[in-house]
Amino acid sequence: MKNHIPLQVKCDGDQGPIAVRYHDKPLRVVARLEYWHDTGCWGAGESEKHFYRLILEDQSIREIFYDLVEEEWFLYKTYD
Please pick, from the candidates 1, 51, 72, 75, the single residue that binds another protein as defined by CB under 8 A. Answer: 51
Instruction: Determine how many CB atoms are found less than 10 A away from the CB of residue 44.
Output: 6
Q: Tell me: does residue 69 bind another protein (CB under 8 A).
A: no
CB of 48 to another protein, least distance (A): 7
Per-residue CA distances from 41 to 47, 62, 74 (Å): 8, 23, 18
3-state secondary structure of 6: strand
Beta-ladder partners of 10: 19
Please pick, from the candidates 25, 37, 70, 78, the single residue that binds another protein as defined by CB under 8 A. Answer: 37
Q: Tell me: does residue 42 bind another protein (CB under 8 A).
A: yes
Please pick, from the candidates 3, 24, 43, 45, the single residue that binds another protein as defined by CB under 8 A. Answer: 43
Q: How do strand 25-38 and strand 5-11 relate by DSSP bridges?
A: unpaired
- Residues forming contacts to another protein in the complex (CB under 8 A) are 14, 33-39, 41-44, 48, 51, 53
